[in-house]
Amino acid sequence: MINSPHRRFNALTGEWVLNSPHRAKRPWLGQVEKTPPESLPAYDPTCYLCPRNERAGGVTNPDYSGTFVFNNDFAALLPDPSEEAASTHPLLVSAPERGSCRVVCFSPRHDLTLPELDLPAIEAVIATWTRESADLAAQDFIRYVQVFENKGAMMGCSNPHPHSQLWAQSQLPNEIVKELARQAEYYSQHGRPLLTDYVQEELRLQERILFSNDHFTALVPFWAVWPFETMVIAHRATQSLSDLSASEVSALAEAFKQVTTRYDNLFEISFPYSMGFHQAPADGEAHPEWVLHAHFYPPLLRSATVRKFMVGYEMLAMPQRDITPEVAADRLRSVSAVHYKQRGM
Ligand code: H2U
Ligand code: ZN
């Protein structure tokens, strides 16, 4: 293992990350985060996501029992934005963007996060993401659907009731443009998807693997930026959630339960993160170069209260990390796969 400063190439985006493993012990007198509340009620009368409660704008949620989907009342993208007069100067480029945004509650329970749900309930969440993605992708002006979850106040989540979002839009967002270019280039050179070859090599090395079953592998990527960043990658070259078979959905649910349980067990708190799927563009083209995967980006670094800041050098130069991805994978592997709140149950 390399213990001196080095940079690593992100094969998926074409960007570099600086690794400084010798620096992990520097003292910290900076900001200390609040820990999330340990227990929440199963139902919160003031929560706008709980069943039977009122949302902004006066709509009342149904008395739902499984997942619950609604159009975001404060959508960042609209199906019919007005065509505003744009500048004609080549340095002042803008374009209208069409799209729509939905919110998905995982269950009626205000207190149950993904790792605390049982496997059938996680499968139901995946089935909902799949159905809503396909429904949005079927609209003729939609070319990309982003499924994501912001978890924890530290990641800007506005409500602890476990939920996720879908944003669908007419143009490809930046991260997808980068990953598409890299995967397409690799596929044209090798005739195989980049992520298929990547997972195969990681499974051979066994240095960064957290969990693997027949259909999915969870690992800390070689090029991870966030301290405990992980990816969950499909083994078969599936391009979108809709391509998954029933057994692949079960395998994905198991991988998600593993990753999120180990996250919570690391510091014995509800571990904050932003998570999302990268599905191939919904542009009507075949994308044999693309492999369905999810990224988990958690902000915490050394404890429940000390986070990694992406500031000076990261903002102005490039991302930098202190603990290596191998050490992070080791730590996540060493904690229990049984959630700390469910031990002894
Ligand atoms: P976040 O917690 O990740 O911000 O997601 C919550 C979303 O819920 C957010 O996008 C929406 C916000 O716009 N929302 C509604 O659609 N209706 C409400 O009554 C409150 C919040
Ligand atoms: Zn709630």
Mutate to test the pocket of ligand 1, among 46, 47, 68, 72 (most ligand atoms within 8 A of CB): 72
Separation of 321 CA from ligand 1 center, angstroms?
32
Give the mean model confidence (pLDDT) for residues 158-169.
96
List, for residues 49-68, the tens digit of each pLDDT value: 999 999 998 999 999 999 99
Q: Which ligand has an atom closest to residue 47 CA? A: 2
**In testing the pocket of ligand 1, which one of 70, 71, 113, 158 has its CB within 8 Å of the most ligand atoms?**
158
Q: Could you tell me the distance, in angstroms and rounded to a whole number, from the CA of residue 8 to the centre of ligand 1?
A: 36
pLDDT computed for residue 30 by the predictor: 74
- In this structure, which residue's CA is closest to atom 6 in ligand 1? 158
Ligand 1 pocket (Cβ < 6 Å) reads: 48, 55-56, 72-74, 103, 150, 157-159, 165
Residue corresponding to tokens 């939905």 = 102
Output DSSP code: residue 307. Answer: B
pLDDT band of residue 301 (cuts 50, 70, 90) is: confident
Which residues lie closer than 8 Å to 88 by C-beta, 6 or more apart? none
pLDDT above 90: residue 162: yes
66-75, 136-145, 193-202, 307-316: which has the minimum mean pLDDT?
Answer: 307-316
Residues 6+ apart with CB under 8 A from 206: none
CA angle 331, 337, 338 (to 5 degrees): 130
pLDDT for the residue numbered 42: 97
Q: Cβ of 96: how many Cβ atoms within 10 Å? A: 13
Q: Cα(first)–Cα(last) distance of the chain, in Å?
A: 39
Catalytic (active site) residue 6: no
Q: Which atom of ligand 1 is least distant from the CA of 70?
A: 16
- Which of residues 318 and 3 earns the better pLDDT score? 318
pLDDT digits (tens, 9 = 90+) for 145-160: 999 999 998 888 889 9
CA–CA separation, 276 and 252 (whole Å)? 13
| DSSP 8-state assignment for residue 222 | T
Would the pLDDT of 112 be above 80? yes
Three-state DSSP at 278 gives strand
Which of 104, 106, 165 most suits a substitution to test ligand 1, by most atoms within 8 Å of the C-beta? 165
Residue 86, pLDDT score = 74
Tell whether the model's pLDDT for residue 199 goes beyond 80: yes
Residue 39 CA, ligand 1 centroid: distance in Å: 22
For residue 85, the model assigns a pLDDT of: 67
> Which ligand is the nearest neighbour of the Cα of 106?
2
Task: Give residue 28's pLDDT.
Answer: 66
Instruction: Dump pLDDT digits (tens) for 261-295.
Output: 999 999 999 999 999 999 999 999 999 999 999 99
Q: Where are the beta strands (DSSP E) in the chain?
A: 6-9, 16-19, 68-71, 99-105, 144-151, 163-169, 209-212, 216-219, 230-234, 273-278, 293-297, 320-321
Q: Which amino acid is at 91?
A: L
Which pLDDT score is estimated for 343?
A: 87
Q: What is the mean pLDDT of residues 333-343?
A: 94
Q: Residues with Cβ < 8 Å from 238, sequence gap 6 or more?
A: 244, 248, 291, 292
For range 337-345, the mean pLDDT:
89
Confidence band, pLDDT 50/70/90 cuts, at residue 88: confident
User: Which is the closest atom of ligand 1 to the Cα of 55?
Assistant: 19
Residue 129 clears pLDDT 70, i.e. is over it: yes
Rounded to two decimals, what is the model's pTM?
0.96
The pLDDT-based confidence of 33 (bands split at 50, 70, 90) is confident
Instruction: Indicate whether 231 pLDDT > 70.
Output: yes
Sheet holding 16-19, edge to edge: 6-9, 16-19, 320-321
Which numbered atom of ligand 1 lies nearest the CA of 159? Answer: 2
Alpha helices, DSSP H, located in 38-173 = 119-137
Tens digits of residue pLDDT in 320-333: 999 999 999 999 99
Query: How high does pLDDT run on average in the chain?
Result: 94
Q: Which fold does the domain 38-78+94-337 belong to in CATH?
A: HIT family, subunit A (3.30.428)
For residue 93, pLDDT over 70 is answered with yes
d(CA 173, CA 305): 32
Q: Which residue has the tokens 């999330």?
A: 36
- The ligand placed nearest to the CA atom of residue 51 is 2
The reported pLDDT for the residue numbered 209 is 98
What is the reported pLDDT for 153? 86
Q: What is the pLDDT of residue 24?
A: 67
Query: Which atom of ligand 1 sits closest to the CA of residue 157?
Result: 2
Confidence at residue 183, expressed as pLDDT on a 0 to 100 scale: 98
Residue-level pLDDT at 250: 98
Ligand 2 midpoint to CA 53 (Å): 9
Whether the per-residue pLDDT at 302 is higher than 90: the answer is no
Give the distance (Å) from ligand 1 centre to CA of residue 163: 9
Question: Residue 217 in 3-state DSSP?
Answer: strand
